[in-house]
Amino acid sequence: MSDTRSFPDRDGALIPAPGRVTAPPPGGAAPHVIDADTGIDATGGTERVARWLRTTVGAATGLPLAPHRGSGSRVLLRVLPALAGELGSDEGYRLTADGPLLTIDGASEAGLFWGAQTLRQLLGPDAFRRAPVTGRTAWEIPAVTVHDAPRFRWRGLLLDVARHFMPKDGVLRYLDLMAAHKLNVLHLHLTDDQGWRVEIRRHPRLTEAGSWRARTRFGHRASPLWEHKPHGGHYTQDDVREIVAYAAERHITVVPEIDVPGHSQAAIAAYPELGNTDVVDTTALSVWDDWGINPNVLAPTDTTLRFYEGVFEEVLELFPSQFVHIGGDECPKDQWRASPAAQARIAELGLAGEEELQAWFVGHFGRWLSARGRRLIGWDEIMEGGLAEGAAVSSWRGYAGGVAAARAGHDVVMCPEQYVYLDHRQAPGEDEPVPIGWVRTLEDVYRFEPVPPQLTDGEARHVLGTQANLWTEVMEDAARVDYQAFPRLAALAEVAWSRLPAPAERDFADFERRMDVHYRRLDALGVAYRPPAGPRPWQRRPGVAGRPIEGPPPSW
């Protein structure tokens, strides 16, 4: 007779919480011991996961984890597609530790990989280091069976590398951190007013001129402080190929974002003909050095359309993702209202005004991408004026855009700013560095529910999942990104993966108990997270203005 229970802290404290854990009664089975004689039995289709185990777990433990040769304990890896029906997802897995045999069965290679991540957690925090530190020669896992599968198929993180550039090694590091939390979509925000971060060979000035700004405001746009040195950088096309391949080995899809028609001053600075030249001297524009919503938007001309078609042709060659994000948010219409060329285009197309002009702009690229077998996704503003069939929506201005999209038959990624914008401050105290937005604590994120209750079951099926967004205006380096992301990203990972009860019924005390162990994993990974007691002295930014919003966030 087996019973379901949580692991003791020493042996598990798994995050995200698995679907079902069963352990034999005392004396019913022996623990599994991994030592120098343990071999990996990699059956067909499991070789990449076996290699990952050797290079990560092997490096941390100092054990060879060589191919199994018939003696010693065995880690058996199998892909069993029939498990998808039993577990409800082709990303599901079953892990069983029983004496000398530990078996990980995945419904797919991805499921097998998530099972390998669970194995790593079961080995303890030291399994997250890059080299052995304990001198241990044997690593014990209790006799246990884990049945597990994700709730959502989109479990994402947005990294804004446009406002503050994150070098390639930092992106690869975040892919490893995502994999450790069973997150599987990296939304890479590559272009904005403050920088263009991806090489486009037919338009070289996008990175030659558009990837660098002369200075940077330090803190929120209300701050009087400036960093008077150039900031920038970009990824070469080979860098992107490396990032995409590295992600694919970890079963993470990289979704690129190329912003149109707003958030485009860096592109206009590089190629002035892209802007509204009849109302502003675009040749005088430089890459923007400030934060906020910029008035300089793309001109709705054939020249602009052809230019960005060329950009997207190269983007599609680099990113195999089904989805391509086109932004579509925060596009001021003042220049279009003042532009004779834009008004002529509105009349030519028979549009009602500037809102429909933006919908036409977005719709053009929706059709263009669809003709090439891809799907457009954009921020919820793309619904204004109508949305093309097959397009998906990132709902950031609360739930309303996502609800409207799902009811209209469009797929949705729920990422409302009042819950999962991780640039928002984590506590009300004055020690929080550059306080932005509402207070969003670890518990607030843990109680976030991606599916609004007003959706019917059929409408709810359009919710692909959720993601946390890391906007980097006030995150000047990797340590600041870590501080804003963790530990809240661990809570978001559990929301996205685990089938949790209703928000008010979630056992946050148990999550905190498991986080006590998980902080040691983050320590081993070198993550500069926010400690539960508050920021360390070097994590504070005294005197740097932010934009705190008082009171509870709206529920929309």
Question: Which residues are known catalytic residues?
Answer: 192, 263, 330
List of residues 6+ apart from 49 with CB closer than 8 A: 42, 77, 104, 106, 109, 112, 113, 116
- The answer to whether residues 198 and 234 touch, using CB atoms and an 8 Å cutoff, is yes
Cα gap 363→347, rounded to integer Å: 17
Q: What is the 3-state secondary structure (H, E, C) of 436-464?
A: EECCCCHHHHHCCCCCCCCCCHHHHCCEE
Angle, alpha carbons 367-374-167 (nearest 5°): 120
Q: What are 170's two structure tokens?
A: 């930092």
Beta strand 32-35 with 154-160 is: unpaired
Cα gap 380→355, rounded to integer Å: 13
- Torsional sign, CA 200, 201, 203, 207: positive
Angle, alpha carbons 544-549-554 (nearest 5°): 155
- Torsional sign, CA 368, 374, 378, 380: positive
Closest by CA to 483, choosing from 497, 496, 494, 472, is: 472
Phi and psi of 3, rounded to 5°?
A: -130, 155
DSSP letter (8 states) at residue 414: E
Beta strand 101-106 with 74-79 is: parallel
**Alpha helices for 371-433 (secondary structure H):** 400-407, 417-420
Q: What are 383's two structure tokens?
A: 């619904």
**Alpha helices for 1-74 (secondary structure H):** 47-52, 58-61
Token pair 């405001």 in the structure block, residue: 217
- Torsional sign, CA 240, 214, 225, 416: negative
Cα gap 138→135, rounded to integer Å: 9
Beta strand 39-42 with 74-79 is: parallel
First to last CA, the chain: 47
Q: Which amino acid is at 188?
A: L
Q: What are 545's two structure tokens?
A: 């203005």
Phi-psi region of 65 (alpha: psi -120 to 50; beta: other; left: phi over 0): left
